Amino acid sequence: MRPLNEMREVVIGGVGITKWGFYENAEWYDFGSEAILAALKNAEMEWKDIQAAFCGSVYQGTGSGHQAIKEIGLTGIPIVNVENACSSCASAFRLAYQMVAAEIYDIVLAVGMEKMPRGPIPSTAFRPWELKLGFNVQPANYANIAVQYMKKTGATIEDFSMVTVKNRRHGALNPNARFQKPVTLEEVMNSRLVATPLRLLHCCPLADGAAAFILCSKNKLKSKYKVITVAASTLTSGIYGEGYPPADLIPSLKYPPAMSLTELSAKQAYEVAGCGPADINVVQAYDTMAPAELWDLEELGFCKPGEAPHLLREGVFDLNGKIPVNTDGGLMSRGHPLGATAGGQIYEIVLQLRGQAGPRQVKDAKVGLAHAMGAGPNSAVTILKC
Amino acid sequence: MTKEGKMIIPLTEGLYTLPSSPYEKPQLIGSKCINCEELFFPKKEKRLCIHCQQMTLEEVKLSRQGKIASFTIVLQPPAGGFYHGPVPYAYGYVDLPEGVRVETQFTGDFNALEIGGDVELVIEKLYEDAEGNEFVTYKFKLLKEQE
C-alpha cells in the first residue's frame, strides 16, 4: 500500500449546501443538484470541468446520483453511488480525495443527499427474530451504551442533556440548520422518555438536505478563498469483538478489540495528517444521540476516558472554548439526512477554516476534524488544514 | 403444546431447548469454536467461526444464569410492525459465566433491574394472537424475583 501522505496534495475546490429541513415539494435530485451547483459556483468552475462524481445517499434507491446529475447535464463522466449508512457522504468524499491524490483525476465531485422516508424507519441491521423481540429501537440501542458509560464514568443524564443544550445553542447561529432555536436544560430533562434514561431531546431530529464538495489538485484551484488541504480522510468499517448495538454487534467477552473502531479511524487519520488531537482547533463530533458526543470526543483523543462530561460543564466544547465541538449545532440542530450528514460536518469545517462561519466563527481555526459514525458500522474521520 | 385448545408457539425456533419433562429446564443454544473457544448466541447456521475463520463451530447449551451488562426500558414501539409484544418493555444484555454476552428482553419488576444484577433464563409469553395462541420467547428475570 502506498501511504496517502506521499501522494499528491488534494485541496477543497469549492463547497455547497442547502438549507436542511423537510422538503415536501422537492426530491433529493432537486436539492442535491442545487448543492452541486452551489459548490460549482463556489469553486468558480464549469460543470464540464468535473471529471468524476461520487454520490452518497442511503434511501434513494438505484442510480440516485445519476438522477441528481441528470438535472445538471450528463457529460459522460463516471458517476458512482455510495451507500455507507450515516458515513455515506464521508465515504464519497474519501473516494473523490483518493482519485485526486492518486492522480487518476484532477477535479472530482463528492455529494451527499437525502430525502428521508417519512415515519419510523426499521433498521436493516437486525435479523427477523430480533425484530420480533423489539431489539431495533435506535434510542434503546444507544441507551444500552449510555447506561454502561454512566456506570463506568459517573456521567449523569444531566450531562447528556447539556450536550443537547450546547449544540442547540450553536445551531441557533446556523441559518442552514433544521432547528435554529435554543433549548433549556429543563426542556431537555422534561421531554418525553423514549428509552430509559434517554428522552426525545437526546435524539437528533431527521431532516432532508444535501452538501457537495469539489476536490481538486492545487494547480486546478480557481477560487481565491483560503486554500484548504485534505490532510486525512479515513474509513474503518467494523472491528472484531467491539459491541455496537445500533449495528446489532454484540461485544466479544473473550476477544475484546485492542481499540475501538473510532479510535482506530482517528489513529489512522492523525498518522496520515501528521498531527494529533492537541493540534485540532475545531471538531464536528457524531452526536446522533446526545451522550454519543461525549464518548466520541474521548475516543477521538480529545480527553481521557470519562473526562468529557466534566469538560463539557467547564465550557471547553463551547464556541469560545478550548476545543469547540459541533459549532454548527451538530446533528442535534442540523437534523440527520443520512446520506448527507457527514457532508454537513465537513462543510462546517471548511467554513470555519476559511473564516466564513459568521457569528459562530471560531478564532484562528487552522485545523479541523469531522467524525461520522453509523450503522455498518462505519467510522469516518476527515481532517482539513489551512 | 396446547392449553384449552390454544397453541403455545415459540416466537422463533432454535434459540433454546424445549424440555421433554418437567424436571428439565430450558437452555439457550449457542455455538462454540473448538479452535479458538469463542462463543456465540444464537447458534451460527454455518460452522464458520467469525473470529478465527475456521470451520470449527459446534452447538453448545449455554448457562441458565448470568449478570445484567446493561438494560433500558423502551417506551416507544419499534418501527416496522414486526414487534407485537407489550410496550413498555425492558431489553438489554446479559453476560453468561462461560464468556458470552446475550441480547434479551427482561421480565419481572423493571424498576428492580440493575447492572450486575443476577438473572436467570425463563421462557415466557410475549403476546397472544386474536385466536388466543400464545407466542413465547426466552427472557431473563432477576434471581431474587424467581419463585
CA dihedral B83, B84, B87, B89 (to 10 degrees): -60
Which listed CATH number (3.30.360, 2.40.160, 2.40.50, 2.20.25) goes with B64-145? 2.40.50
Rg (Cα) of chain B, in Å, rounded?
Answer: 16
- For A306, other C-beta atoms within 10 Å of its C-beta total 15
The string of DSSP letters for A296-324 reads HHHHTTSS-TT-HHHHHHHTTTSTTSSS-
Which among B39, B43, B70 is the top mutation candidate for probing chain A, defined by the most A β-carbons within 10 Å of its own β-carbon?
A: B70
With a cut of 0.90, is the ipTM above it? yes
Helix A138-153 vs helix A290-299: angle between axes, to the nearest 10 degrees?
60
| Closest C-alpha among B112, B70, B108 to residue B91 | B70
Domain boundaries, chain B: 64-145
Contact B70 A255 (CB under 8 A): no
| Residue B3 reports pLDDT greater than 70 | no
- CB contacts under 8 A, B 97-136 vs A, are 99-105, 115, 126
pLDDT tens sequence across A219-233: 999 999 999 999 999
B36 touches chain A (CB under 8 A): yes
- In whole angstroms, what separates CA B17 from the centre of its chain? 11
Contact B74 A134 (CB under 8 A): yes
**Which residues from A are below 8 Å from B84, CB to CB?**
132
Q: Is the dihedral angle over the CA atoms B87, B68, A308, A136 positive or is it negative?
A: negative
DSSP state of A254: S
Map A46-58 to HEC letters. CHHHCCEEEEECC
pLDDT tens sequence across A207-216: 999 999 999 9
Contact B82 A128 (CB under 8 A): yes
Residue B147: all three cell numbers together: 419463585
Architecture of domain A4-114: 3-Layer(aba) Sandwich (3.40)
Contact B115 A151 (CB under 8 A): yes
pLDDT of residue B2: 53
Nearest to B73 among A136, A196, A251 (CB): A196
B54 confidence band (pLDDT: 50, 70, 90): very high
Tell me how far apart the terminal alpha carbons of chain A are, to the nearest angstrom: 27
Mapping DSSP to helix (H, G, I), strand (E, B) and coil, where does residue B32 land?
strand
| Closest C-alpha among A290, A349, A288, A283 to residue A317 | A283
Whole-number mean pLDDT of chain A? 96
Which among B12, B50, B75 is the top mutation candidate for probing chain A, defined by the most A β-carbons within 10 Å of its own β-carbon?
A: B75
Q: Name the active-site residue from A86, A89, A203, A386.
A: A86
> How far does A61 lie from chain B, in Å, by closest CA?
19
pLDDT of residue B22: 82
Domain boundaries, chain A: 4-114
Which among A132, A193, A203, A242 is the top mutation candidate for probing chain B, defined by the most B β-carbons within 10 Å of its own β-carbon?
A: A132
> How far does A197 lie from chain B, in Å, by closest CA?
7
Residue recorded with cell 471547553: A316
Average pLDDT over every residue of B116-127: 96
Strands (E), chain A: 10-17, 52-56, 79-82, 107-114, 193-195, 198-199, 209-217, 229-236, 282-284, 367-372, 379-385
Total length of chain A: 386
pLDDT of residue A119: 73
Q: How many CA atoms lie within 13 A of B76 on its CB side?
A: 19
CB B117 within 8 A of CB B126: no
Q: Alpha-carbon distance A131 to A265, whole Å?
A: 30
Nearest to B103 among A119, A135, A194 (CB): A135
| Closest C-alpha among A146, A156, A145, A139 to residue A199 | A139
Nearest to A132 among B51, B83, B92 (CB): B83
pLDDT of residue A68: 98
Which residues have C-beta within 8 Å of that of residue A56, sequence separation ≥ 6?
A81, A82, A83, A84, A88, A89, A90, A91, A92, A93, A110, A111, A112, A113, A339, A340, A342, A343
Query: Does the active-site annotation cover A216?
Result: no
> How far does B91 lie from chain A, in Å, by closest CA?
7
Q: Alpha-carbon distance A238 to A241, whole Å?
A: 9
pLDDT of residue B5: 73
A245 confidence band (pLDDT: 50, 70, 90): confident
Contact B82 A193 (CB under 8 A): no
CA dihedral A320, A289, A267, A83 (to 10 degrees): -120
Which residues have C-beta within 8 Å of that of residue B147, sequence separation ≥ 6?
none
- CB contacts under 8 A, B 47-66 vs A, are 50-51
